[in-house]
Amino acid sequence: MKTGVCYYPEHWPAERWAQDAAHMKRIGISHVRIGEFAWSRLEANGQYHMQWLTDAIDVLHAHELKVVLGTPTATPPRWMVDKYPDMLALDEQLQVRDFGSRRHYCFSHEGYLEECKRIVTVLAENYGQHPAVVAWQTDNEYGCHSTSISYSSHALDAFRGWCSETYKTIDALNTAWGNVFWSMEYDSFTQIGLPVGTVTESNPSHQLAYWRFSSRQIQQFNKAQVDIIRTHSPGRDVLHNFMGNFVEFDHHLVSRDLDVATWDNYPLGFLTRDSQNESDKARYLRTGHPDGSAFHHDLYRGCCNGRWWVMEQQPGPVNWAPYNPSPLPGMVRLWGWEAFAHGAEVMSYFRWRQAPFAQEQTHTGLLLSNGEEDVAAGEVAQLNRELEQLAIDGPPIVSSDVAIVFSYSGIAIQDIQSPGGAAFSALTFCQTLHSACRQLGLNVDIVAPDAALDQYRLILVCNHTEDDEQFTQKLLRCQEQTLKPVIALFPGSGSRSHDYAIPAALPPGTLQSLIDVKVVRSESLPPEHLLVAKASDGSVCQCKHWREQITSTLTPHKHFADGWGFHYTYNAVHYINALPERADLIDLLGQLATDAQLTIFNLGPDVRIQQMGNYRVVFNYGSESVSLDKHLGDAFGFSPSTHLLVGERTLNTADVAVWVVA
């Protein structure tokens, strides 16, 4: 793994650039991202002003640094908005997303798209063959600040065209959306409106269609840039930086046109902004949740055939979360090792130097705003020295026996009409499932529904809500293998058609060909209401949020007090028709993994381990030191004779240990 940094030469005097480049090289940085917010400095008043960018790239090249050049389309300049006032997106209240920050454009505006293609062409023609430029980043953080979906007139016109292309006839659309309900039928595609502003809830089929359309618009916007870059800069990787805890569009769809999926990792910001678990917020305030980064590492590793980077890594307090704590000493180094262990090719830090102006003044960098080193610079230097000592040749190898099938459209379906109630989050449940696997010491791949599954021993279907015949057939083929995998289907699996209707055969739709279960009722409950399922041997499982009533010829493992069954099994296929509490979920997954002939080891809440090839990397997120000899014993190839390549046998808070299994 190499390390990188996000750099903004346009923010600093040109005479400073060589000093910065030499400093980057000195602490072991090899990759530098530039240019993604620089349009106003690249072009003004109909004239290009690119000499400064040429000079900056040449300075970085002279110091043997590799450049990732960003396209500047996330920040259209003021003169662009003056030229196209209607390019601005509209939010759900039909308010203009105005100029003055960033991401102020609508993906459906054809005029703006042409301007983007023009500036990307100019950049690719000028720098596509420069020896320093090894990769390109398209735009920046698609969808950030809730900009995935626009409700502008341009988006409406494009949506009507998409509907016509998708459904062919208005009768077909009316049937697919169930528009006979409440007399919502249309006579022509030109009558279709936006799924906002209605008296009460708009048709969920309409909402889902608009989500799919919006994902397609992002994919096409991105592909227009990718195609230009590939034409003028062949052989360079093309990537985009996705975000954490963000599912507003289909990342798998966009990734089809990329070489590398990258993401922007802010563990403390995500915890304080997104977590609903107050205990976790307090426990991991300065470390981030032990599985928060790992979930996204595994998710984005599954987007581009295993190739992924971290494009922006938190180096200290950020500026945008409700609370912005400082990470514990050692955490910046730990987060780097964690990315390495999950197979990252590059770990890039945001940013090189703290900005003394504008919106991100309180967002730390590797350097202070005066140019002196901040704390993280030393930890990055230490990480680079340690990585150099390992001297690993070739691409990182991460193999997993467990797959979590993750569907962006499945989450959209569940979010539109949440079957688990107001406190239920489809994304959070997927993260809880992943976290439980990690606590059991299991490597996990997070894969799209169309990914190959035959190499996995345990397949967990947590949110594939669509009734998908092709997916069902793939699982059936897995069941034909000599060593068949264990498959677990969780609530909601196969419960809605592609157009958001209940399957004719009832949920889980075509998945009934794997296991004889039929969902006849679904209920959501307040989060404080626990349901206890009990087996004949007295064992229990506590569940909350959401459960389904099943009819089946199969005998359930447990029963709730009101007679509803819980957990049905047939031929190594499990249907888990309620959401277990975390401790019981860990026990359940432990049994499924054991049935799949996998070795499990409960690491507890704070310690995590990741296996990459023959390497084992262990992390301590807890407040107490941990003796690896006592905690691991002889698990994971660790023994009294094990030689540690990095770290000590007593793992302190925010510390890391690395060893090799022969």
Residues 6 or more apart whose CB falls under 8 angstroms from that of 76 comprise 39, 87, 104, 105, 112, 115
Distance, in Å, from the CA atom of 275 to the CA atom of 273, rounded to the nearest integer, reads: 6
Q: What is the DSSP string of 259-292?
A: SEEEEEE-HHHHHHHH---HHHHHHTTTT--TTH
Distance, in Å, from the CA atom of 465 to the CA atom of 410, rounded to the nearest integer, reads: 5
92 tagged catalytic: no
DSSP state of 396: -
**SS3 readout for 32-95:** EEECCCCHHHHEECCEECCHHHHHHHHHHHHCCCEEEEECCCCCCCHHHHHHCHHHCCECCCCC
Among 306, 346, 250, 342, CA closest to 30: 346
Distance, in Å, from the CA atom of 403 to the CA atom of 457, rounded to the nearest integer, reads: 8
Catalytic residue among 312, 345, 379, 466: 312
Question: Among all chains, which residue has been given the structure tokens 């404080």?
Answer: 528
- The answer to whether 133 touches 124, Cβ cutoff 8 Å, is no
Ramachandran assignment for 597, one of left (phi > 0), alpha (psi -120 to 50 degrees), beta (any other): left
Catalytic residue among 36, 115, 141, 548: 141
3-class SS of residue 6? strand
Among 118, 14, 140, 20, CA closest to 69: 140
- The answer to whether 635 touches 622, Cβ cutoff 8 Å, is no
**Cβ neighbours, 10 Å, residue 92:** 13
Distance, in Å, from the CA atom of 322 to the CA atom of 271, rounded to the nearest integer, reads: 10
Q: Let me know the angle formed at the C-alpha of 252 by 246 and 256, rounded to the nearest 5 degrees.
A: 140
Alpha carbons within 13 A on the beta-carbon side of 659: 19
Q: How deeply is 517 buried, as exposed, middle or buried, from its count of CB atoms within 10 A (0-12, 13-18, 19+)?
A: buried
Q: Let me know the angle formed at the C-alpha of 425 by 424 and 429, rounded to the nearest 5 degrees.
A: 100
Distance, in Å, from the CA atom of 27 to the CA atom of 63, rounded to the nearest integer, reads: 13
Residues 6 or more apart whose CB falls under 8 angstroms from that of 567 comprise 533, 541, 556, 557, 558, 574, 575, 576, 577, 588
Find the length of the chain: 662
Strand-pair partners of 460:
404, 488
Q: How deeply is 46 buried, as exposed, middle or buried, from its count of CB atoms within 10 A (0-12, 13-18, 19+)?
A: exposed
Amino acid at 148: S
Tokens in use for 619?
């992390």
64 tagged catalytic: no
Tokens in use for 24?
């980057």
Q: How deeply is 540 buried, as exposed, middle or buried, from its count of CB atoms within 10 A (0-12, 13-18, 19+)?
A: exposed
Distance, in Å, from the CA atom of 308 to the CA atom of 221, rounded to the nearest integer, reads: 21
409 CA to centre of own chain:
14
Active site residues: 141, 312
